[in-house]
Amino acid sequence: DGFREFAVARCDFNSTDSKDIRLIYSMFYNKLEYARFDSSVGRFVGYTEFGVKNAERWNNGPEVVQMRNEKDRYCVHNVGIDYQAALTKS
């Protein structure tokens, strides 16, 4: 019983080159994705009425700049580590 809200951040990559790395940050409510930030799009996109309203607010505020910087801080940094670890194990 009850409601569940959660977010998932993932980094999709083919190499350690920054242009080949993509951050996707998805927000869910009761298993339904209502909004997403995709670094290849560069902004938030809403998928429900609630998500569209919030995406518009986030795209006009400091949140969009913060998420654009997250690709470098979170993905680019960790992909370099993960990529080297995968190569040494293969």
Note the pLDDT tens digit of each residue in 21-66.
999 999 999 999 999 999 999 999 999 999 999 999 999 999 999 9
Q: Rounded to two decimals, what is the model's pTM?
A: 0.85
Q: Angle at Cα 54 formed by Cα 48 and Cα 55, nearest 5°? A: 85
Sign, CA torsion 12/23/35/32: positive
pLDDT of residue 89: 76
Q: What is the CATH number of domain 5-89?
A: 3.10.320.10
- How far apart CA 14 and CA 17 sit, in angstroms, is 8
Least confident of 9-13, 22-26, 79-83: 79-83
Is pLDDT at 90 greater than 80 in this prediction?
no
pLDDT above 70 (res 6): yes
